[in-house]
A and B are shown apart, each in its own frame.
Chain A
Amino acid sequence: MRRRVVVTGIGMVTPIGRDVETTWQALQQGVSGVGPITLFDARTFPTRIAAEIHGFDLNTYLDDVDTWPPLSRNSIFALAASKMAMEDAGIGADTPGIDRSRLGVYFGAGEGQQDFPHFCATVHSGVTEGQVHTDAFIKNGLHIMDKWAESEQDPGTPTAHVAALANAQGPNYTCLTACAASSQAIGEALEQIRRGDADIILSGGTHSMIHPFGITGFILLTALSTRNDDPQHASRPFDENRDGFILGEGAGVVVLEELEHALKRGAKIYGELIGYGSTADAFRITDSHDEGRGAIACLKEAMADAGVAPDDINYINAHGTSTEVNDKIETLAIKQALGEVAYKVPVSSTKSMMGHLIAAAGAVEAIICLLAIRDGIMPPTINLEKPSEDCDLDYIPGKPRQGTVNVAVSNSFGFGGQNVSLILRKYTA
């Protein structure tokens, strides 16, 4: 008898809301969180827009912020989202009756915000006639660079912070499969609970790449939109005038729990996590496979794992980054995996509103699927004025769609061809 896994708590911090319900309302209203970059001086950068979280204060969520060391943005978001999810689920560090060695954490987490100013100052201090002298770099860096900023670079750090917050002594994992990371974390956490390695896992992701290194890196790959004069319309998945993604930031956390464990303690249940697929394109480091073979295989694997057929699916939350390649290949993959039924399933990209949260995207989008299941509302794809020719599905343009959602699929397709699909279903006993 396979152990079933349900979601008993959710928490998220996104560019369009600092808690679940605010983001959810904003998604239904088609609010865009994109604007000019303010976190650093980006005025001459080819891309100078992003979906930032403005004025975030961890004191809103934790009452002991001063007992934590200086935290990078991604750790801050992770702690806030985890705290909300834990309170939602009724599981805290002091909750009695929880076997701490069977309470785990699995995050798809990005490295901390890279300290560009101090890095550049250190490089500069070590350069003579254009050559970097590493001995001077190290010697000066020990004085110039910031200990805590560097400590937070370790991608395993948010997971450690969350484990401390929750007194979670069980299996502790961090993965970083680029844009698929937090979907992957949730999928592998599902497997850990099914296998009996844990009963509860705080799973999700966090990332903030809105810093000069991150923006520079994606600009160089020509992956970002340059629609700087019209930020709120820049993220336009599936649209014929899409020109790249918008970098967002934030965190999403779900409390995954074995069903019997959840029922025994009377936990509220948002939905059941029933399917997970993971594949690699094995094609190119820059582009998806040109026939979507990895994405197709991953969707099919998730459906087989979930025991669902294409016509059981009521909604797909797309990866939908607003790049030319992803949106085209994803559309193709959905059609190949679902067959004719693809034309009947509403598909939307919430990245049209909040941008791309990179490692955190998958977790946030899984939460959106759960809310769609809960409320029978599917969020729209905004800025879809005219779909490109190769994008011919129902992308829920402009306004949300009402309708029963029993089964929802969330896709995440990462750089380098890492594909993950998650399938969630309304809980029935």
Chain B
Amino acid sequence: MSSTPSRVVITGLGISCPMATGQADLIDSLREGRNGIAPITSFAVPSEVTPAVGEIRNFDPRSYVIPRLKKTFVKSLKYMARDIQLAVAMAQVALQDAGLAEGGVDPTRIGIDLGAGIISTDLQELATGIEKSYEVENKFSYATWGNEGIKLVMPIWLLKYLPNMLACHISILSDCQGPSNTITEGDASSGLAIGEAYRILQKNRADVMITGGADSKIHPLSYIRARMIGLLTHWTGQPELASRPFDSQASGLVLGEGAGIIIMERLDHATARSAKIYGEIIGIGSGSDARRITEPCTGQGMVHAIRAALRDAGLSPEDPSISHIHAHGVGVPSLDAAEAAAIREVFAGRPDIPVTSTKGATGNMGAGNGGVELLASLLAAREGFIPPTIHCDSPVAGLGLNLMRGQALPITGDKFINLNITRYGQSSCVVTKAWPKAS
């Protein structure tokens, strides 16, 4: 085992988010500044909450699976919550993109490190049992639930909603026997998973890692949680305009869903099989505010994460080859402010560094954020532009960020930084170098 860390490149991708599915569609959508936020279609919501969500419309997971696996996959669908379906489908796309869907890597040398969220149960699946338990006394009877309610739930119920099942299903379908982990740290999950996958490959514990993440926050329980915790937007204007990164009219997040699955590979392994290479991971970092969760976000975790990642990449903040920062920009005022303060602190020597957030178009995709956002920056960078920030009509005063608002702006430099932060200040930073498109 070499003591020099291996270089790690991106050789495949699969992406589905509210405004686009697939590479070409995503590039077009970013160029246009296309919006993915709209009134919710998948279930009814009361007037107490915004109908604005970032939904992936017309998602049919079966259409992404290679013929050889289709039958197995279709049989397993009923055991997969939506998050899992998104992850598995986009992993299929990514593996095909990388030319690894029909072998090409030793099964013991391909692993998985994915970001995933807590997955809420389908309500109807439990409703019959719950109603039965109210029948006799018109108040909930544990005795009835134990005796009769449980039997009305499908046996595999728990496994349909476990966060590690994204990775498990992928591993089973595509025979991935290498290191396997699932990071469950809220909105920073896939940024952190990408970082860990990078380290695994650098250390030669695997040749290929399937990483990124997937999450669907389009669920009644997610609405309740986001509202009660005080994170959900209070926007009452046109729903399409509700997700407003760094904007003075932002009042909270919009629930979204997304899957950004990335095939990462050691450079020598990729070169040996003449894989196409999109880009290279060159630095990662993680940090935390380390404050009580009832106190406001300080952004200190993000400062540490960025500094660690830049050190890891061998870059100073002033390095002109850093083309842009793809910020978390979730539209929760306290988090946006803390993130902006962190960026200002680290990049004090280059205050006009371009900053952007695609959440105006996607909403908050939870564990899908890091994967989707890295791919958005990567694909856009290779096309020569920075993904724009939409719905930031009037940035918060004093933010001090050079926000890429409106149209997709031309890019200078081949590197970019992705940031994610949880409501607790747990932060991830990934530094990527885009490789030029093959002529």
Contacts and interface: CB of A to CB of B under 8 A. Distances in A.
Interface of A: 40-46, 48, 67-69, 100-101, 104-105, 109, 111, 117, 120-124, 126-127, 130-139, 141-142, 145, 147, 150-151, 153-157, 159-161, 163-164, 166-178, 184, 188, 191-192, 195, 197, 212, 216-222, 278-286, 293-294, 297, 414-418
Interface stretch (B184-192, B347-355, B370-378, B379-387): B184-192
Interface residues of B, number: 96
Contacts of A222: 155
B184 A176 contact: yes
Interface stretch (B91-99, B105-113, B272-280): B105-113
A69 B180 contact: no
A219 B131 contact: no
Of the candidates B107, B175, B290, the one having the most CB atoms from chain A within 10 angstroms of its own CB is B290
A155 B163 contact: yes
Contacts of B35: none
Given A120-B140, A121-B140, A414-B164, 10 more contacts: A43-B143, A156-B422, A168-B290, A169-B290, A195-B199, A279-B177, A281-B171, A282-B174, A286-B156, A293-B177
Contacts of A188: 181, 196
B180 A178 contact: no
B111 A415 contact: no
B176 A280 contact: yes
B60 interface: no
B169 interface: yes
Interface in B389-424: 422, 424
Contacts of B130: 120, 123-124, 127
A46 to B, nearest CB: 7
A39 to B, nearest CB: 11
Contacts of B202: 195
B159 A285 contact: yes
Contacts of B228: 142, 145, 147, 150-151
Interface string B241-282: 000000000000000000000000000000000000000000
B134 interface: yes
B44 interface: yes
Contacts of B437: none
Contacts of A124: 130-131, 134, 140
B24 interface: no
Contacts of B136: none
Contacts of A164: 290-293
A46 B140 contact: no
B39 interface: no
B127 A153 contact: no
B150 A216 contact: yes
Given A123-B130, A220-B157, A284-B172, A132 B123 contact: yes
B399 to A, nearest CB: 24
B45 A173 contact: no
Given A160-B293, A160-B426, A169-B300, A177 B180 contact: yes
